[in-house]
Amino acid sequence: MCVKIGIILGDQLSLHLPTLGELDPDQDRLVMAELRDEATYVKHHQQKIALIFSAMRHFAHDLEQAGWRVDYYRYDEHDFSDFSALIAGRYRDAEEVVVTQCGEYRLQHAINQDWQARSGVSIRCLDDSRFLCSPDFFQKWASGKKQLRMEFFYREMRRHTGLLMEGDEPVGGQWNFDSNNRQPYKGKTPLPPELTFERDDIDEQVLSLVADQFADHIGTLDQFQWGTTTAQAQQALAHFIEHRLPHFGDYQDAMVTGEDTLFHSLLSPYINLGLLDPMAVCQAAEQAYFSGEAPLNAVEGFIRQIIGWREYVRGIYWLLMPDYAAENRLGNDRPLPAYYWTGETKMHCMAECFRNTIDHAYAHHIQRLMVTGNFALLLGVLPEAICQWYLEVYADAFDWVELPNTLGMVMHADGGYLGSKPYAASGSYINRMSDYCKHCQYNVKTASEPDSCPFNSLYWHFIHRHRQQFSGNHRMRMIYRNLERMDPAKVDAMLTRADTLLADPDAL
């Protein structure tokens, strides 16, 4: 078999993938495989597996329609556990195996160290040009900095891409309109219409496979609503631009009982899988502003999530791995409570976020950061445990994006390298941005009573126990001044209440 083999990974479903540009469709072959090790190295949500497998199968069809010869290995039709076994078993005579850099250090290490050693075939790994910031670009930007700040990186990326720029200046005269994007949703603005997709035979086959093979994984397939083709991803983008983007900015931090998506885009799984190009998505949003279809605060906030946070966390990941994954500067060691998998808790805000997660493999960024993530931070959960949970349960979670967001932003386990202060908050933030507290049996107005909101008690316990780390942080000085002015008896009562919660967090 003196041909070149191109490996297409499950998050590389793009016709612009560098691998395709290196191969000849008339001579070479492409290989795609649903592998046990990739599906089970953590217990991914059932909908996440279904989305990836179905999207892969549809993309393989697209490749064949484009003239490529594709060898596709379905999950239940072969015995290969990983790519090195597959290459050694089927492609030992290949001239060369070509692959584009993957999104996980774990697999990239295997590509670099194991594939050629086990198969004897030459492996060539290409840079992934689908991102807007290369690892080299990020390394040069980060060089010499003791701490990194996304805002300054984001401004560099605005200049680099030209998005929302007028020459060297930002459109609207300022870089960031985040202060305009913190409104609670009160129901006056009509919610967008629901977007649904018809299911074809491929979808049905995959859903049946996942129900059979991964029944013990978290989640349910009953409400599977994801698009699984490039065309459906484009439809989702158009739907967002028309129906959601105009109000996305105002309500991007809002949370409402029973409303799982509000005005959020739901595009991150498609971008992370390769079904949507991030620059094209940003340009579509930018055009909506210039044509008067969406306000600047919404468009800027959305674009910042993509060329700011998305590229920023990827840069940090490849700059600092593998050591970054072991960071635990706050010394946290508690296990995750059982309700992170069952959803069964008396805390209404947590129950709502878990329900959304279990039903849809989705929760928006504030639900992740300020509810489930904030609670793990206040509780003192082992960073590795909460990082693995996020990687398991969300359809858009791949290690390069999930790990820095969770370990650095949610858990502040990197000592402030990614973010200048921990995103710790009491129940008052959740009460301000949602209706959750109105439906909860805990009292969000108190911190020391038996029925006090656990977030309140645990927040002050967190502030108290980490006084040495954070009292000198200029962004937290007011918090510590407030703590110092409190009645000592009140502080003791709050800490006692928190100690009771920490003794049995599964009871909450």
CATH number of the domain bearing residue 389: 1.10.579.10
pLDDT of residue 2: 66
CATH number for the domain spanning 197: value is: 1.25.40.80
- Please give the mean pLDDT across all residues of the chain: 95
Identify which of 99, 128, 95, 129 has the alpha carbon closest to the alpha carbon of residue 111: 99
Residue 169 resides in a domain: yes
State the pairing for strand pair 29-33/4-7: parallel
**Residue whose entry in the numeric block shows the structure tokens 């000849």:** 24
152 and 45 within one domain:
no
Categorize the per-residue pLDDT at 1 as very low, low, confident or very high, splitting at 50, 70 and 90: low
Asked whether 307 and 280 are in contact (CB, 8 A), the reply is no
Categorize the per-residue pLDDT at 160 as very low, low, confident or very high, splitting at 50, 70 and 90: very high
CATH number for the domain spanning 113: value is: 3.40.50.620
Compute the distance between CA of residue 488 and CA of residue 385 in angstroms, rounded to an integer.
Answer: 34
Residue 400 Cα to chain centre, angstroms = 9
Q: Helix 311-320 crosses helix 150-161 at what angle (to 10 degrees)?
A: 110
Compute the distance between CA of residue 158 and CA of residue 350 in angstroms, rounded to an integer.
Answer: 36
Residue 404 pairs in a beta bridge with none
Which CA distances in Å does 458 have to 126, 371, 448? 47, 13, 10
Residue 330 resides in a domain: no
> CA geometry: angle at 377 spanning 307 and 180, to 5°?
40
Compute the distance between CA of residue 4 and CA of residue 65 in angstroms, rounded to an integer.
Answer: 20
Compute the distance between CA of residue 296 and CA of residue 106 in angstroms, rounded to an integer.
Answer: 39
Final residue of a structural domain among 100, 126, 152: 126
Compute the distance between CA of residue 341 and CA of residue 372 in angstroms, rounded to an integer.
Answer: 12
Provide DSSP, 404-436: IIIIIIIT-TTTTSS-SS-----HHHHHHHBSG
| Mean pLDDT value of segment 223-234 | 97
309 and 208 within one domain:
yes
Is pLDDT of 388 > 70?
A: yes
At 393, is the secondary structure helix, strand, or coil? helix
Compute the distance between CA of residue 211 and CA of residue 206 in angstroms, rounded to an integer.
Answer: 8
| Mean pLDDT value of segment 373-386 | 98
255 and 350 within one domain:
no
226 and 375 within one domain:
no
Residue 32 resides in a domain: yes
Final residue of a structural domain among 109, 126, 143: 126
At 214, is the secondary structure helix, strand, or coil? coil
Q: What confidence tens digit (pLDDT) does each residue in 130-159 have? A: 999 999 999 999 998 888 889 999 999 999
Residue 39 resides in a domain: yes
**Residue whose entry in the numeric block shows the structure tokens 């989702």:** 236
Categorize the per-residue pLDDT at 181 as very low, low, confident or very high, splitting at 50, 70 and 90: confident
Compute the distance between CA of residue 344 and CA of residue 221 in angstroms, rounded to an integer.
Answer: 19
Contacts of residue 39, defined as CB under 8 A and 6 or more positions apart, other chains included, come to: 49, 75, 214
Residue 328 resides in a domain: no
Final residue of a structural domain among 102, 126, 150: 126
Is pLDDT of 238 > 60?
A: yes
CA atoms within 13 A on the CB side of 469: 17
Residue 32 sits at φ, ψ, to 5 deg, of -130, 145
Question: How would you classify residue 345: left for phi > 0, otherwise alpha for psi between -120 and 50, otherwise beta?
Answer: beta
Asked whether 34 and 56 are in contact (CB, 8 A), the reply is yes
343 and 243 within one domain:
no
Sign of CA dihedral 114, 118, 124, 126: negative
Structure-block tokens of residue 459 = 């927040």
Asked whether 438 and 478 are in contact (CB, 8 A), the reply is no
Residue 327 resides in a domain: no
Percent of the chain with pLDDT over 70: 100
93 and 37 within one domain:
yes
Asked whether 202 and 51 are in contact (CB, 8 A), the reply is no
178 and 33 within one domain:
no
Structure-block tokens of residue 356 = 């959304």
pLDDT of residue 179: 81
DSSP 57: H
248 and 120 within one domain:
no
Provide DSSP, 280-347: HHHHHHHHHHHTTSS-HHHHHHHHIIIIIIIHHHHHHHHHHTTGGGG--TT---BPPPTHHHH---S-
Structural domain including 480 reads 339-507
146 and 265 within one domain:
yes
* Edge-first strand listing for the sheet containing 96-100: 69-73, 29-33, 4-7, 96-100, 123-126
Residue 101 resides in a domain: yes
Compute the distance between CA of residue 469 and CA of residue 415 in angstroms, rounded to an integer.
Answer: 9
Asked whether 218 and 388 are in contact (CB, 8 A), the reply is no
Percent of the chain with pLDDT over 90: 94
Residue 472 resides in a domain: yes
391 and 283 within one domain:
no
359 and 266 within one domain:
no
Q: How many domains does the chain have?
A: 3
pLDDT of residue 419: 84
263 and 311 within one domain:
yes
